[in-house]
Amino acid sequence: MISTFFNVGGEQQLAFAPLLVWGLIFLFGGSLGVAIYKSLKYIKGHKIAVLGMQYSGKTQLLAHLRNIPYDGYVNSLGANPYEKFTLHLGDRDVRIANGKDIPGGAEYIRDYYKQMIVDNEIIFFLFDAYRYLHDNNYSRQTQARLAFIYDQMSGHDKNTVIFATFADKLGDKDKRTDAYTMIKQSVDDKPYRSLFKYNFLILNMKDEKKVLLDCLNNKIFKK
């Protein structure tokens, strides 16, 4: 049947036939493999790590992603595991694997950061934008932590998202834009400046859930 379908000279037809059969097998097998992989990815979920400074909004971020209320939360103390959940981004759903909400204290860096960076594909890092620009000690600590994260990421292909939070404390839109520029300039000469190149956002984590989800939809979990 294949030889009559392709009107080529007799022996050449027969030579092409196995190639064609194998080609079709690879094509369908490959498509099936991709479909299975995407299904498994949906079932297992994307692996995310939420890291950041104390009081920067990490738990609030997770509450937004999980679509659960944040009211009544206490300060995070000790690692709080969460189950895998579905992130609703407009007209599609993205599965997020189970993980841990860890506090922002420096004592957690040694025991959690390295493993969380290695184990997860998307790394979120949060810090307080207002404090960063007004408290030298805080900005130094934030930069030290970013340097640490950058070192740990070396050799691993990771997607990073930097959120500078408490944008409401910065003032109006122009002041926010200035703050954005100043923060970027502050890391211009640092080896980890590339972390701020693509996915860096200043926002009010408490009240700007839509901005957060838009960022995730358009930049992180692109269609």
Partner 1 sequence: MNTILYTQNETATTPNTIMVDGVIYNDFTQQEAYKAFKYINQKSEKSGKWEWLIKQLHKQHVILSPNFKYVKDADGVFIRASFNEKDEGERNMAFMFFTKERKMSVVTNIIDQTASCIQRSVRGDEIRNFAKAIRKVQYIQYAVSLIILFILLWIL
Interface residue list for partner 1 (CB under 8 A): 53-55, 72-81, 103-108, 111, 131, 135, 137-138
Residue (10 or 78) nearer to partner 1, CB: 78
Find the radius of gyration of the CA atoms of the chain: 24
Residue (112 or 150) nearer to partner 1, CB: 112
Task: State how beta strands 48-52 and 122-128 pair.
Answer: parallel
In 48-172, which ranges are E strands? 48-52, 80-82, 85-89, 92-96, 99-101, 122-128, 159-165
Task: Work out how close the CB of 94 gets to partner 1 at its nearest, in angstroms, rounded to a whole number.
Answer: 25
Of the candidates 68, 109, 60, the residue with the CA atom closest to the CA atom of residue 88: 68
Cβ-contact 90, 107 below 8 angstroms? no
Task: Work out how close the CB of 64 gets to partner 1 at its nearest, in angstroms, rounded to a whole number.
Answer: 16
Residue (129 or 216) nearer to partner 1, CB: 129
Task: Work out how close the CB of 21 gets to partner 1 at its nearest, in angstroms, rounded to a whole number.
Answer: 53
Tokens of 14: 């027969």
Tokens of 171: 């003032």
Task: Work out how close the CB of 107 gets to partner 1 at its nearest, in angstroms, rounded to a whole number.
Answer: 5
Residue (54 or 159) nearer to partner 1, CB: 54
Residue (127 or 196) nearer to partner 1, CB: 127
The single-letter DSSP state of residue 41 is H
Task: Work out how close the CB of 120 gets to partner 1 at its nearest, in angstroms, rounded to a whole number.
Answer: 17
Of the candidates 33, 72, 76, 30, the residue with the CA atom closest to the CA atom of residue 51: 76
Task: Work out how close the CB of 182 gets to partner 1 at its nearest, in angstroms, rounded to a whole number.
Answer: 21
Residue (16 or 108) nearer to partner 1, CB: 108
Of the candidates 133, 140, 136, 205, the residue with the CA atom closest to the CA atom of residue 166: 205
